[in-house]
Amino acid sequence: MTPFPLPADYARIRRVRSFEELVTTPLAEGVNALCWERALTGDFGEVVARLGEGEGIMPLDEAQLLVLPVSAAGRAAIKVMLDDLRRLREHGLVPELNCIHLYPRDEEPGPVPTDVYSFHADSATVEADTYLCTYHGAASEGLRNDEARRRVDIPETRAELLQVYGGVDDAAFGEFLSEHCYDLHYAPLPQARPISFGLGHLWRIATEWPGCPVPPCLHRAPETVPGDPARLLLIS
């Protein structure tokens, strides 16, 4: 399923022009994603190359990046990422910067996939948003809320989950779905057109938390296979 560029007419996404606008604009009146569109300078591919081969998820820190033997273009890319980390930290967040070769898959796939390759909503027990930016590699993908259905609401899937649960469809079953995060994952409808979050853009997206005034922003990590370029991803 090929993701499409950021649409101009999707009311749930609002473009902003600065970091200040990104962090201060309310997620309200149906808007569940803010995008600070940017054309970044620097050679992020060189940074990935200098980091070397790896597998899984490689956390990156400032000291590690600053000693990489890169060109001026690579140094410019590093500055961009460190500036984003600083901005988010100064805003009181705890961002992570990772070089991602491959995410882990579900060890025991069941009726509902729960790894990050599945369209899902982030959740929190208190008010919180997710910030993310892909600098290199395949970009994160979003899904319109009206083009998705919770997997636990699909009758066939719910019946399979009930078999796994071994009980009846009651409040305790709902708790079971929540404990295993099954209720956070969504299936695209046949006409769905996933949205590419693009490279270099810094996003703030709505999570699912008690009292949230907007639906959560549905998203996923892009499908990757061994040999694909590693991703540089900032997330908080």
Report pLDDT digits (tens) over 100-159.
998 877 777 679 999 999 999 999 999 999 999 999 999 999 999 999 999 999 999 999
List, for residues 26-47, the tens digit of each pLDDT value.
999 999 999 999 999 999 999 9
The SS3 assignment for 229 reads coil
Q: What is the pTM of this model?
A: 0.93
Cα–Cα distance between 23 and 16 in angstroms, integer? 10
Residue 55: per-residue pLDDT = 82
Within a 10 A sphere around the Cβ of 195, how many other Cβ atoms? 24
User: Would you list the DSSP string of 82-148?
Assistant: HHHHHHHHHTT---EEEEES-PPPPSS--SS--STTS-B--B-SSS-EEEEEEEESSPPEEE-GGGE
Residue 1: per-residue pLDDT = 57
Within a 10 A sphere around the Cβ of 172, how many other Cβ atoms? 11
Within a 10 A sphere around the Cβ of 58, how many other Cβ atoms? 15
Domain positions in the chain: 13-149+189-235
Assign residue 84 a region (left: φ > 0; alpha: ψ between -120 and 50; beta: otherwise): alpha
List, for residues 176-221, the tens digit of each pLDDT value.
999 999 999 999 999 999 999 999 999 999 999 999 999 999 999 9
